[in-house]
Amino acid sequence: MSDTRSRDEVREDIAETRAELAETASALAAKADVKAQVKNAVAEKKQAAADKTAQLKEAAAEKTAQVKEAAAEKTAQVKEAAAEKTAQVKEAAAEKTAQVKVVAAEKKQAAAGSLAHVKQSTAETASRVAEHAAVTKDHADGIVRERRPVPLVVAGAAALAVAAAVTLLRRRRR
């Protein structure tokens, strides 16, 4: 069969073999060129790192947006809760203020009544002391004048003042 082949066929086979041999030599040369292989590997790793960096940046941006949105929602919730609590506290304070005003008014009225009672009691006591002093003066007019030069009126007024002071002090302590 090899005799039967034509020259053109043989030439084609030779050309094909040369092409294959050139490719094989080129592949062997590429494998033998370590520097080029390292450059290619570095370039591939750089590209992979750049791709990964871009992916991470995009993911971080998405997460940041999600966190911002969640923070905004929580902030709105907290503001709403704070406004509700503030309103409740204001309402409670207003109620307590009203209660305190009522109690203060009651205490004021009680104090005014007590003061009027003290005044009346003091006046009654002063009147009784004055009457007693007058009776005592009439009774001891002759005896005291002879023994003591101090007029009975001064002694009676002093007794009246002491009685009034004692009454006031007793009323204040209650």
Pick the more confident residue, 101 or 124.
101
- Specify the pLDDT at position 142: 56
DSSP state of 4: T
pLDDT tens digits for 45-99? 999 999 999 999 999 999 999 999 999 999 999 999 999 999 999 999 999 999 9
Taking all residues of the chain, what is their mean pLDDT, rounded to a whole number? 84
Q: What angle do CA 123, 126, 131 make, to 5 degrees?
A: 125
Q: Is the pLDDT of residue 1 over 50?
A: no
**Does the pLDDT of residue 148 top 70, yes or no?**
no
Tokens for 173, please give them: 């302590």
The answer to whether residue 160 scores a pLDDT higher than 90 is: no
The whole-number average pLDDT for the span 98-110 is 88
* Mean pLDDT within 26-30: 81
List C-alpha distances in Å: 85 to 77, 80, 82, 104, 122.
Answer: 12, 9, 5, 28, 54
